[in-house]
Amino acid sequence: MRNISKVAPEWWDYTTLDEQILNDAAKLSAEDLLQLSRSGFTVKFYDTLESFYVAEALEYVRAWQQATEHEPTGICGPIGPTEQLPLVAQIVNDLHVDVRYGHFWGMDEWYLNGKAVPITHPLSFAKADMELCFNRINKKLRMPDEHLHFLTESNIEDYTASFDKVRCLVMQGGQGEVKHWAFNDPVKREGKYQDNPPSPQEYRQLSARIVNLHPMTIIQNARTSGGGVVSNVPSQAISVGPVETWKSEKVSIWQAGMHDNPFGMRLTAFMISKKLPDSAVPMSLLADHPNVQFNYYRPGIGTCDAEMH
């Protein structure tokens, strides 16, 4: 029988894994992380935050540079991290890069009271994308609004279908404390998932959808985006799913040590490298994607040693 979560007994999460996997991941040094690279999975380090976020920003620009009128291309991007977004606008403007044929997918949005939060909501991801990036790009260079795909409760099917019409060259993401990309959280421990979480194959069939958020996700977002006011964070969201992720040519995960902890940054890389997919650790399902890159800010990797504060 699988372990009961130490964090939320009614949910699946990484604390339900076999302890040998957890222990092996915790022992990894930063140098060990680099050695986890294999065919289809690349681990890359950046020594400064400047080089880290510029490299992340350049993934946007390069994806858009490949777009043409008849063969559009794009990138699916996160809120968390966000530091790359103003850099994207600056690169496009300063180098006069024409991105009119490019596309962008916002990978998720909060869901509250039966609908996506409006762009006026202080936690809106679409609001952050527009204010930090797209509203800063010269209008003569920027793609039209219809090339910006933001999830709402009414456009989920169209959003999924757009991945068949436009090549998504890169799906970017951060990693949350529950080990998700976007809001692909572990499921509740109930019904047919009482004794075991969904199989990797079953979880991978999920496309963009409305999701219930794991308690760890709610607490993390309160910490990173809301000053710790948990009561202000919605308990549901609309999220891109594995279906759209597997239609993306590359998955690029950026970890500066701001969203997940030293252990989590090791665990998912270990499981992907060793091909140990488990839907209790959603990020580990990327073990089966053909092109995944984990990008780390080297000083943010930290250690898993005991240290009292």
Q: Say which CATH number the domain at 152 has.
A: 3.40.50.1360
The more confident residue out of 99 and 232 is: 99
Q: What is the mean pLDDT of residues 120-132?
A: 96
Model confidence band, residue 132 (pLDDT cutoffs 50, 70, 90) = very high
Please report the pLDDT score of residue 227 as a whole number: 87
Task: Calculate the CA 64 to chain-centre distance.
Answer: 20
Whether the link from the prior residue into 242 is cis, omega within 30° of 0, is: no
CB atoms within 10 A of CB 173: 26
Q: Please report whether residue 8 resides in a domain.
A: no
Q: Please report whether residue 153 resides in a domain.
A: yes
Please report the pLDDT score of residue 308 as a whole number: 84
The more confident residue out of 161 and 308 is: 161
Least confident of 15-19, 191-195, 286-290, 304-308: 304-308
Residue carrying the six token digits 């910006």:
148
Write out the residue range of the structural domain in which residue 20 sits. 14-300
Q: Please report whether residue 68 resides in a domain.
A: yes
Q: Please report whether residue 79 resides in a domain.
A: yes
Q: What is the mean pLDDT of residues 239-256?
A: 98
Q: pLDDT exceeding 90 applies to what percent of the chain?
A: 91
CB atoms within 10 A of CB 307: 7
Model confidence band, residue 258 (pLDDT cutoffs 50, 70, 90) = confident
DSSP structure class, residue 111:
E
Q: pLDDT exceeding 70 applies to what percent of the chain?
A: 100
Q: What is the mean pLDDT of residues 284-292?
A: 98
Please report the pLDDT score of residue 306 as a whole number: 82
Q: Please report whether residue 4 resides in a domain.
A: no
Pairwise CA distance, residues 90 & 101, whole Å? 18
Number of compact structural domains in the chain: 1
Please report the pLDDT score of residue 179 as a whole number: 96
Residue carrying the six token digits 């219930």:
212
Please report the pLDDT score of residue 1 as a whole number: 84
Q: Are 267 and 281 in contact (CB under 8 A)?
A: yes
Write down the pTM of the prediction: 0.96
Run of H or E including 33: helix 30-34
Q: Please report whether residue 305 resides in a domain.
A: no
